[in-house]
Structure 1
Amino acid sequence: MAHKVTKAVFPVAGMGTRFLPATKSVPKEIMTLVDRPLIQYAIDEARAAGITEFIFVTSRGKSALEDYFDHAPELEASLRAKGKTALLETLEATNMDSGAIAYVRQHQALGLGHAVWCARHLIGDEPFAVLLPDDVIAADKPCLKQMVEAYADTGGSMVAAMEVPRDKVSAYGVLDVHPAIRSVLPVKGMVEKPAPGTEPSNLAVIGRYILSPDVMRNLDSATPGAGGEIQLTDAIAAQIEQSNNVYGYRFDGQRFDCGSKAGFLQATMAFGLAREDLREDLEEYLLKTLAQRQAAE
């Protein structure tokens, strides 16, 4: 039986340049999707999967992110005095117990693999999850929970995977797998951002991982890969060669790339339409707007 996964790494050191000027003063992970910041979606997903230790890999200028998960005694007291119980419960869901969150700094932007490696002393010799907050996944059962349940039978390492159009595949880490229609796929190889026409499949890795401590050890000796960065994909690919125990997991759900403006807007529409308190007004606005555009054409 696979070791239980209780630790998760959240790489949040990026500067969010695609969202300037907003990210000049606000960390991208605090940007609001409907009424929750991106990081809250990732934390909620991790909690649902049984994660109890949360490790944030941060950088300079991320103090607002740290403050978000702290208690706000004055605000809580004000809500309590006004009898705003529902808002108080919403606020309390953002609080984290003392010691549940640890922060480590990535002083140089050397890639995702390097960011994960920065958490090595807190991970130790245990399997761990990695969640990229830019990837927001709408699913009946949270994506990481699906993976944890599958990982209990496989052990090793597991990466979330989804099919992407061939003309987009060079933007991702891509899996070399035996073709099969099932959720758990043994991985023969991985390549980061393959040149167009060289990709082994159109099954791309997205921002959810369950990793063996062997991957962290591989990062100890990693050298720069695609883009001159330390690639997490390369360290996972090395584990395939060492133990042949890496799996792709086709998850049930819809992934939104909230690291792009278009993806963020798409997620806002999708999550807004999924809310009973917002659906009617939002649908009316969208239908009216589309009708006006069609009439203008």
Structure 2
Amino acid sequence: MYKLFCIAVICFLSFADGFTQTKSQIYEPAFFEETLLKNVENLSSDAFEGRRTGTRGGIKARRYIINEFQKLGVQPLLKRKYEQSFSFDFKGTFYEAENVLGLIKGEKYPDKYIVVSAHYDHEGIKQGVIYNGADDNASGVGALFSFAEYFKYHAPQYSIILAAFDGEELGLQGAKYFVNNSKVPLKKIVFNINMDMISRSDKNELFAVGTSHYPFLKAVIKGLKTPENFKLSMGHDEGNWKEDWTHASDHAPFHKQGIPFLYFGVEDHGDYHEPTDDYENIQPAFYTNAVKVIISVFERLDQIKF
């Protein structure tokens, strides 16, 4: 049965590829690049104090996300509220945290869900120095807003949960809590797209992680048209990679439950988890192209019958 499913995916994508090319949506999905960049600049400014879980800056970031969701017409997932509150202990410290969860209803499969996720927390303030976390992971949250903007003009087939997770830097706590306390049945969640560090790469290379675990995804990635001088690569999940990212971010709890995922991210750079991960050091052209490519991958996934 699994082989038949993979064959069906390959056949569908071969047929649909020409159609999607003529729509000219591979390079120009409907979101404003200026808004994408401005959101990242805002979230990674000193005003948010590094967005550490449970701090004043983290709470301010949460409110910012809710405000953007409301402006973009994203409905709350949880009965009139966006927040999913939880608490946890990490290395002897108690934390109060909140995921922010929005919903876009699907047109064809409203009772099946694709979770598009990015964590909004970062390292906070250490020894008086703010760790702003522009790439890690204001970039992923900015992409969540661009997805929401895109859905205003392109209604999805599946219902979409836009998940801004808290506590990722403290052991993937937000994603774990979401999966273990899901407000929709886990069997109804058919896929997870996770974005964590997508705004800079000196090699102009974005990785799509997960294809080794879910081989049908190779057909989704292969043959996808990408912008000039932009490389979308598969890897960092199995084989001879020095770093295996299978459990590196918020897609890991989904994978543990057998939910297929694609994690989009870049290789570590010199500003990773350093106070120099500032907005000035992201690469706007690469970042906007990365978001366009991720949305293009979503377009293909949204056409598959899970």
Please, what TM-score do these two structures have when normalized by structure 2?
Answer: 0.31
Pair member with larger Rg: 1
Which structure's residues are more often helix, by fraction?
1
Please, what TM-score do these two structures have when normalized by structure 1?
Answer: 0.31
